[in-house]
Structures are given as C-alpha cells and as structure tokens.
Chain A
Amino acid sequence: MKRWLPYGCIALLAVVPFAPVPLYYLHLAILILIMGLICTGWSLMGKFGLVSLGHGGFMGIAVYPMALLWNHYGLTPWLGAPIGVGLAVLLGVLIGYPAFRFRVVGHYFALITLALGEVVRLSIIAARELTGGSLGMTPLRVQPITDVSWYAVQFTDKRYFYVIALVAWLGGLWAWRLVNRSMARSALEAISEDEVAAASVGIHVTSQKLRITLLSAAMTGLGAIMLGQYNQYLNPNSLSGISISLEIVFASIVGGMYTMLGPTIGALITIVFRESLRAYFGATLTGMAETIYGLLLILFIIFMPRGLWGFVVARFAHPTGDTSRLEVAATR
C-alpha cells in the first residue's frame, strides 16, 4: 500500500490540469513546481553545508543566452535550454573548483557565491543593448502567431507548461533520490561533518563537492529557463542577484532542506502565503505580507531549523519525540 502512495500522488498531479481548475490556481501550481525544482537543487548543496547565496547567478546565466539565441538567431529553446544549462554548469565549475580546491567554506563560501550572483546580475544589466538592462526583455512571439508552438515552446494554454514543469520537477526529485542512495551522500555527509577527517579516509573532497554543485547548478538553470519561458519575460533583478538567491534559500529552509519534499513544500508555502496575504491585504498595506514573511523566517531558523516538512517527517517517523534521532530521520 505504502509503496504505491507516491505513484498515486504523481498520477493525481498529472490529471490536475484536465480537471476544471481555475486558471489562477494552475498558474500558482506551475510556479510552485518550477520553484520547487530550483529549491530542491539548492537543497542538494545546502543539506551538505554548502550554503550558496548566489543561485540567482546560475539562473541568470542559463535563461538569458536561451532567450537571446531565440530572439537573434531563431534558435529553438529545445537547443537553447541545454546551452543555458551547460553555461550554468560551467559557471559552477568556475566558482566551485577553486572554492573547493582552496577550501573556502562556511561564511566565506556564502559570501563568494553572493558576489557571484551579483556579478551575473550586473553583467546582464551592463549588457543593456542586448538584454534591455533592468527593464528586462521579452522573447519574441513565434511567427506566424499560433496557439501551440512546440518549436518556440510558446503555448497560450497553461496546461502545456504545467505538464513540462511537472516532468522537470519529478526529474529533480529523482536526482535527489539518486544522490540519497549513492555513496556520494555518505561522502558528502562526512565532508560536512569534518572535511579534514573525510579527506584522510580517502574521500576526494574537491570532486565530491564539485559534483553536487554542478548538479545543483544544472537544476537551478533548468528551473530558471522554464520560469523565463513560462512568464515570457526576463528581468535581471528577478532572475539573478541577491534578491532571488535569498528567496530560494529561505523557501528551502522553511520547507526543510533535509527532506526530499521539503524544498517543494517551502516553495509552496512561500508562494501561497505571499499570494493569499496579498489578496487579503490588497493594495492597502503594501509590504505587510513580506513583513510577516520576514518575521516568520527568523522564527523558523531559531525554533525549527529543519523546516516545516522536516519537522513533520521527524515527528511522523518518531512519534515518541526522541529528538536525538531527528537529524537521521529528517535526512531520509
């Protein structure tokens, strides 16, 4: 019975768009799936102590080349996307290899990734003749205009995007599962506990960290590509830089970065919470939603550092409340 539960959920998610769901909810679901993929990618690094404050950098460097290639050369996003993901991975190598080789850890790793995210954002703004700078850019509409263009990946019907986002998100969870069941996981856990000790028992610290970073960069880049393609609008401030980077980090923490579904739950909470508060307070109290959100973040990190889902999973697995096993349970 328990074995079939995940498949049942997937089947349910797959039929959602064919039920009469209001467009607005479908829109939210697409955003949640895409942000869920990005946050899952971030958590793959975060849960091993590699806290990156620059995942926005991987987003920007992936999505802009794809849109530019489409606008200027008419290259289909099906080719542009792998190029974009490839560039995100390349950026991961450029920052990751020296960082891990020279053992830049903790605070310092967070700060160099913060700088990286800003480098990408400012570079995009600086190239304003190409990218439109802070004003952003829109991918050109496919000519002749049609409702469904697989070549340009432009659909008027949101359900196409939903299915694409669902598949990509499931792919992200699958990657998480593979990592969790591999030797790499034990190696990375050992590294996050004590790097020197891990190296002394023969774990190749640099290569292990680099591999998980590249996987994370690729997932983040893919998420950004889908976000840009779905919104049909690219802005350097929302697709790179410190602001979105922190948003990714916090969604992952709120949900719980040590569990497979935690980051997605975090994305869900963040998006639903923001949207509903926005609907509740309306335009009268701009900033109220984010104020409460900021306050909750502080409380979460102090009182529930494993996140909401991490907390639920731990309670469910160990109802006796044996907190010493919390960590172990939450990583499963």
Chain B
Amino acid sequence: MGIFDFYLLETIINGVLFGGVLALLALGLNLVFGVIDVIWIAYAEIVMVGMYIIYYLNVVLGWPLVFAALASILGVGVVGLLVHALIISPLLDTPPINQLLATGGLLFFLQSFATLIFGAEFRNLGLSMPILQFFELYISFSRLLAFGTALVGMIALYLFLTRTYIGTAIRAVAQDREIMSLMGVNTRKVYLITSAVGGGMAGLAAILLVLQQDVHPFIGYTFGPITFMICVMGGLGNLLGGFLAAFIMSQIISIGSFYVSTELAYVIAFILFIAVMFIRPEGLFQRRA
C-alpha cells in the first residue's frame, strides 16, 4: 500500500509540472483570446513553428541553444503580428466564426508547410535533459523548468499589462473596444502589439516543449485542443484563471493516466470541459458580470 501511495504522489507532482507546460501554452492564447476576442485555432501550430525554428537554428545551423531560443520568441512574435495583419484584421468586422475558420486554414497551411520543408519525421534536439531525484521521487528537469518559466512568464505578462502604458491600453481595449477607439486609442496598433506579444508567448512555450518532446508537423493536434479548453475554462483573458485551469486539467490527465489510460484521461478532461461550458459558460474563475 505504501508503494502505491508513493507512485500516486509522483503522479501528482508530475501532474503539477505538466500543468506548468499547459499554463505556459495557454498564456499567449489567453491574451489574444481575451483582448481581440479571436480564437487562433492554429495556435498550437504557431507554437510548432517556434519548435521548428529552434530545431533548425540549433541542429542544422549549429547556433547555441540560447540564441535559437531567443530567435524562437522573436520569430513567433513576428508570426503572431503577421497572423493579425494578414488574416484577422481583414475579417474583424465579419462574424467571429469567420476569424476562427480563417485561422483554421492557417492550421492546414502551417502543418503541410512544415511537412513540405522538414518532412513528416520526428525531430529532436538530441539533448537528454536530466531527471532529478529527490529521495525516491523522479522528476523531469525540463518539466520543472517549464513550470518555473510559466510562473515567471505569467508574472511578467501581468506586470506588462498592469504597469506599462501600452499594457493599460490593451486592458482598456479588452474591456470596450468601441469606446476606446472613440477615446483616441489606436486599436489597430493595440491589436498588433497584443498579437505580437501573444506570439512571443507561443515562442516561449515552444522552447520548453522542444526540450521535452519531438517535433513533427502534426504535433499541434496533441496539445492544441486541451489548450483551448484551458483558456475557456479559466475564463477568457483571465490569466490567473487560465493558470488554475491548467493545473486542474493536468491533474485530471495525470491521475487519470495513472488509474486508467492516457486516452481516457483526456476523455474525462474534455467531458469535464463540456460540462463546465454548460454550467458556467463564462469560465470557472470569472466573476459573473
């Protein structure tokens, strides 16, 4: 019995760390979702672009990992900017579902473009990240790193949104976009900056993901859906809510995988999401308006 509880403890700790990865993934999407009210259905594929940037610079061109990582943040930030400028902004006045579908086209495009350039093979950096041992507990270092980065990323984003002028403008636009443009705020600029920052967050998530997973063109399907669910469950644009929702989902998946199987654990997580949508469509942690 003692052994049993022990494995469960390890499962729970790994679940917390996995939650860090999910929380980090959700940050950028949450920002874009909350401010522009657009779902980038290709968000996971944009993260994939970052993973390929790091792979290409580090493995093919032989750049040091740190520079490759910085290039990922910048590069994906530019991708975010382009997504808004080229796809979202011509569609801002159309039904919201059109924006979602257009980024769905982007999903196909990025997936197959990656296949075209890198092929369907699984690629990795060839690094083996250490596994830390605390007494009898084995914990993956890369997950610990992701957890820490998610925490730092969230705090940084929070400070950016509350302590800077442009951050305040972003929050104001999120609250009421029509009034803010009447007040003389250049909403287009605010949207572009938000998209770039959201993209940069995706680039950050890509760094942590590429350290622990192989990258392949269809990797987006593995973590894309769960990322959307987390954002919505936490309440749109609610950074802390998204963070908490990431940990709820990761615990369900982690403990579910432990007791039944990974697939059924995801099934439970998705069904919970559907149920939450029925009961509290504004998200678990959103104050009712």
The residues of A with any CB-CB pair to B shorter than 8 Å are: 49, 51, 53, 95, 98-99, 102-104, 106-108, 110-112, 114-116, 118-119, 122-123, 125-126, 241-243, 246, 249-250, 253, 285-291, 293-298, 300-302, 305
Contact = CB atoms under 8 A, between A and B. Distances in A.
Contacts of A126: 261, 263-264, 267
B225 A49 contact: no
Nearest to A243: B221
B107 A294 contact: yes
Contacts of A118: 225, 266, 270
A57 to B, nearest CB: 11
A106 B97 CA distance: 7
A122 B281 contact: no
B102 interface: yes
B104 A297 contact: yes
Given A114-B225, A287-B115, 16 more contacts: A102-B278, A104-B278, A110-B39, A119-B274, A126-B267, A246-B107, A285-B116, A286-B116, A287-B114, A289-B112, A290-B111, A291-B113, A294-B105, A295-B105, A297-B101, A298-B102
Interface in B206-239: 217, 221, 224-225, 228-229, 232
A305 B98 contact: yes
Contacts of A119: 267, 270-271, 274
Nearest to B264: A126
Given A118-B270, A119-B267, A302 B111 contact: no
B273 interface: yes
A219 to B, nearest CB: 21
B229 A115 contact: yes
Interface of B: 39, 41, 87, 90-91, 94-98, 100-102, 104-116, 119-120, 217, 221, 224-225, 228-229, 232, 261, 263-264, 266-267, 270-271, 273-274, 277-279, 281
A111 B113 CA distance: 25
19 contacts: A51-B101, A99-B277, A102-B279, A107-B97, A108-B281, A111-B228, A115-B229, A116-B274, A118-B270, A122-B270, A288-B116, A289-B112, A293-B112, A294-B108, A295-B109, A297-B101, A297-B104, A300-B105, A301-B102
Given A104-B278, A294-B106, A51 B97 contact: yes
A251 B221 CA distance: 20
| Residue among A114, A122, A250 with most chain B CB within 10 A | A122
Given A110-B97, A118-B270, A285-B116, A104 B281 contact: yes
Given A122-B264, A286-B120, A294-B110, A95 B274 contact: yes
A93 to B, nearest CB: 14
A296 B112 CA distance: 13
Contacts of B225: 114-115, 118, 242
B101 A301 contact: yes
A253 B98 CA distance: 10
A112 B228 CA distance: 10
Contacts of B105: 250, 294-298, 300-301
B104 A112 contact: no
Contact of B104 (A246, A289, A302): A246
Given A246-B104, A288-B116, A108 B232 contact: yes
B101 A249 contact: yes
A294 B266 contact: no
B interface secondary structure, majority: helix
A257 to B, nearest CB: 11
Contact of A122 (B106, B110, B266, B274): B266
A115 B274 contact: yes
B96 A107 contact: yes
Nearest to A281: B116
Nearest to B263: A126
A200 to B, nearest CB: 21
A111 B87 contact: no
A249 B111 CA distance: 17
Nearest to A98: B278
A293 B97 contact: no
B222 to A, nearest CB: 11
B107 A302 contact: no
B104 to A, nearest CB: 6
Given A108-B232, A111-B277, A297-B105, A302 B97 contact: no
B115 A286 contact: yes
Contacts of B91: 301-302
Given A112-B274, A125-B263, A291 B100 contact: no
Contacts of A249: 101, 104
A302 B87 contact: yes
Given A104-B278, A111-B277, A49 B108 contact: no
| Residue among B112, B263, B278 with most chain A CB within 10 A | B263
B111 A294 contact: yes
A124 B104 CA distance: 25
B47 to A, nearest CB: 16
A253 B101 contact: yes
A189 B113 CA distance: 38
Contacts of A102: 277-279, 281
